[in-house]
């Protein structure tokens, strides 16, 4: 398995744990549960992608040749 897989897995756990503390229900209207879940999912996927790519780029560019 590649290192990128483990980075994605680690970052997924961190992002889901950190997003658990945000009260998204107060942002949305009452009885809009599906839209709130979709928004939560899209934000989580976006954060996972961005943080994972940042970590991978940081480590690949900081290697001394």
Q: How far apart are CA 41 and CA 24, in angstroms?
A: 11
Q: What pLDDT is recorded for position 2?
A: 86
Per-residue model confidence as pLDDT tens digits over 1-39: 788 899 999 999 999 999 888 887 788 888 888 888 899
Quote the pTM value. Answer: 0.81
Do residues 4 and 55 lie in contact, with contact meaning Cβ atoms separated by under 8 Å? Answer: no
Q: How many Å separate Cα 43 from the centre of its chain?
A: 7
Do residues 55 and 7 lie in contact, with contact meaning Cβ atoms separated by under 8 Å? Answer: yes
Q: What share of the chain is helix, strand, coil (3-state, %, to 5)?
A: 70, 0, 30
């Amino acid at each position: 398995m590649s290192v990128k897989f483990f980075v994605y897995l680690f970052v997924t756990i961190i992002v889901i744990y950190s997003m658990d503390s945000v009260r998204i229900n107060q942002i949305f209207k009452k009885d809009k549960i599906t839209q709130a879940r979709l928004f939560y999912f899209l934000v989580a996927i976006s954060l996972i992608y961005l943080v994972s790519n940042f970590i991978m780029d940081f480590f690949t560019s900081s290697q001394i040749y």
